[in-house]
């Protein structure tokens, strides 16, 4: 039957090399009624048009990423671009990838990573954001670093299994007075 349990683990992930994502993006304003429908439509179109199958040189195993980039804040509204895409082995040039796609680089560095398995995608999403923020907040060693967080979906058939990566850095030790 359906498993109603939500399980998660949190660890520190070090990327020695950047990762490359090829996908499609949509510009949205956080907190507006059209924000999530726009993102969901983007993902639906990406899946319906089998975009992943048209992107060459995909890394194995398959991973779909959701990344929020290019944040602009004005009038208390955060505007950003949401990218959905798949990981590829090399940074594909424009001529090597489908016309409507963009290339995004996830920089090498240190990330706090939560891996969640939940009964559904909404619980997976809320658990990821809540528990990872709490872990970073309570950490004596790490703090959030500049950069973009990434949602990672390792299964093609469900978003109830996901990861969230957030850039972190060592907390600065206060100087002795």
What would the pLDDT profile of 8-63 be if each residue is shown by its tens digit?
999 999 999 999 999 999 999 988 999 999 999 999 999 888 888 999 999 988 89
pTM of the model: 0.89
- 176 secondary structure, DSSP code: P
Higher-pLDDT residue of 152, 49: 152
Angle at 65 between CA 107 and CA 21, to 5 degrees: 50
| Contacts for 20 with CB less than 8 Å, ≥ 6 apart | 87, 88, 89, 90, 91, 92, 103, 104, 105, 106
Q: What is the mean pLDDT of the chain?
A: 93
pLDDT of residue 62: 86
Above 80 in pLDDT, residue 115? yes
């Amino acid at each position: 039957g359906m498993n109603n349990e939500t399980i998660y683990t949190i660890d520190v992930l070090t990327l020695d090399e950047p990762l490359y994502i090829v996908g499609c993006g949509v510009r949205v304003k956080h907190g507006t009624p059209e924000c999530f429908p726009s993102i969901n439509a983007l993902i639906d179109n990406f899946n319906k048009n089998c975009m992943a199958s048209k992107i060459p040189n995909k890394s194995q195993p398959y991973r779909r990423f959701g990344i929020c980039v290019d944040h602009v804040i004005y009038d208390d509204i955060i505007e950003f671009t949401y990218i959905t895409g798949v990981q590829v082995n090399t940074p594909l040039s424009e001529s090597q990838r489908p016309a409507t796609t963009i290339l995004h680089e996830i920089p090498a560095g240190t990330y706090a990573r939560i891996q969640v398995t939940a009964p559904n995608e909404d619980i997976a999403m809320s658990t990821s954001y809540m528990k990872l923020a709490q872990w970073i907040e309570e950490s004596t060693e790490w703090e959030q670093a500049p950069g973009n967080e990434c949602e990672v979906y390792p299964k093609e058939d469900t978003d109830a299994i996901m990861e969230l990566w957030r850039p972190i850095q060592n907390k600065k030790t206060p100087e002795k007075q």
